[in-house]
Amino acid sequence: MTIVQINTCADGSTGTIMLQTAEEARKAGHMVHTFSRKWRHQPPAPDGHTYFGSFFENALHQILANRFGYAEMFSYFGTQALIRKLKKISPDVIHLHNLHGWYIHLPLLFRYIKQNNIRVVWTLHDCWSFTGHCPHFMMSDCDKWKTGCYDCPQHRQYPASDVDRSETMWRRKKEWFTGVSDLIIVTPSEWLANLVKQSFLREYPVKVVQNGIDLSVFKPVKSNFRKIHSSKKQFIILGVAATWGKRKGLDVFVRLSELLDERFQIVLVGTNDKIDKKLPNNVLSIHQTANAAELAEIYSAADLFVNPTREEVQGLVNLEALACGTPVLTFATGGSPECIDETCGKAVLTNDIDTLYHEIITVFTNKPYSDVNCQNRAKLFDKNVKFKEYVDLYEDRAHRSERPI
């Protein structure tokens, strides 16, 4: 079977998922080609991967989309070149990931898919596919996407636009994305699957395949973190994010730093100089870690992982912490509570800082969660098992089709 995967990028969480599912499919004997946008300062393309389009056209796409609000309707020539490659490859399955990021002409892509009756697997990593603009809408408490977006409260946020085109883009996405003859949607959480069933994508079957983690990397390891940072006797509360802000609960950690005494040490990973200026002196700031192994050492040194996220599809950081034997307290946001059970952590009502504080004290005092229970929970999210579910899905879609392979 020949499989094509398309994503905004070949790095980060979604790029890693694309490349690792591709590798799992290759192990099963399938031919896999992966594609992502051409951008600046990119490393050499991995084996089997192609950066398509041009940086100039994609940068112009971003400028035009920001100015006029018509996202993913430019990069015409790059998309035409991609389609020419697809015609040569003649894929049996196209696996779509993120289609936002100013790199693809969606009308062209979906016209090709529909005209050629291509089988499609579409993994949704956020909510963008069924809204008129935004990838996330929990903080704005908006449900216009169910019947038709308008007066978007977030049009100036990613993918930012000077004008509100949410009404037009919702209608156009519905036109582009519906009517594909053989498409299945995959979500990494039951929470997102339930949203899809309320959207204009409800005509398609939905399957939940949680994102997996590498248990050979994320596991309890020896760590000098406490010694290096003079925190040998303190109860370490850890927070990790790629980008810190209100969405990830930076303000919550600032408030916790005011409530907790010197017995506790809050550590935030993924910060930068700008974030440091917002943090009180009793919060330890760790800028981006060098690699996953270094991050595993920090998880292993922590006593408790706290994730006060306000918008979350799944919450891979929760799983990484569990795999290192560290229990998790999280806001009950999106798919984040699905990472844990009563043996390894707890979810509290989103924005309920008082309850979060009291749960921290409970964990500190009673130690109700064991390392073993945390690790056992994480084993349910082994990437080798999860990515194989995609291979099974490809093969199942092929067996259901009358099209010869």
For each of the domains in the chain, give its residue range(s) and CATH number, in order of start.
2-212+383-400 (3.40.50.2000), 225-379 (3.40.50.2000)
Strands, E, within 7-106: which ranges?
31-37, 49-52, 93-96
Which DSSP helix (H) or strand (E) runs through 4?
strand 2-6
pLDDT more than 90, % of the chain: 93
pTM of the predicted model as reported, rounded to 2 decimal places: 0.94
Residue-wise pLDDT for 21-41, tens only, equals 999 999 999 999 999 999 998
Looking at residue 404, what is its pLDDT? 41
- Residues 364-384 pLDDT 10s: 999 999 999 999 999 999 999
Residue 405 is predicted with a pLDDT of 38
pLDDT (tens digit per residue) in 305-326: 999 999 999 999 999 999 999 9
Q: Which amino acid does the sequence have at 205?
A: P
Separation of alpha carbons 78 and 37, rounded Å? 9
Half-sphere exposure of 157 (CA within 13 A, CB side): 13
Report the distance separating Cα 338 and Cα 344, nearest Å.
12
Give every residue of the chain whose pLDDT is below 50, as ranges: 402-405
What is the model's pLDDT at position 315?
Answer: 94
Cβ 50 vs Cβ 85: under 8 Å: yes
Residue 235 burial (10 A CB sphere; 0-12, 13-18, 19+) = middle
* Percent composition of the chain: helix, strand, coil (DSSP 3-state, to 5): 40, 15, 45
Bridge partner list, 287? 271
> Is 31 in a helix, a strand, or coil?
strand
| Count of beta carbons in the 10 Å neighbourhood of residue 112 | 17
Q: How far apart are CA 185 and CA 126, in angstroms?
A: 12
| Cross-sheet strand order for the sheet of 119-123 | 49-52, 31-37, 2-6, 93-96, 119-123, 183-187, 206-208
Say what the alpha-carbon torsion angle 187, 189, 195, 201 is, to the nearest 10 degrees: 10
What is d(CA 154, CA 161) in angstroms, rounded to the nearest whole number?
A: 9
Cis? peptide before 91, omega within 30° of 0:
no
Give the pLDDT of residue 241. 95
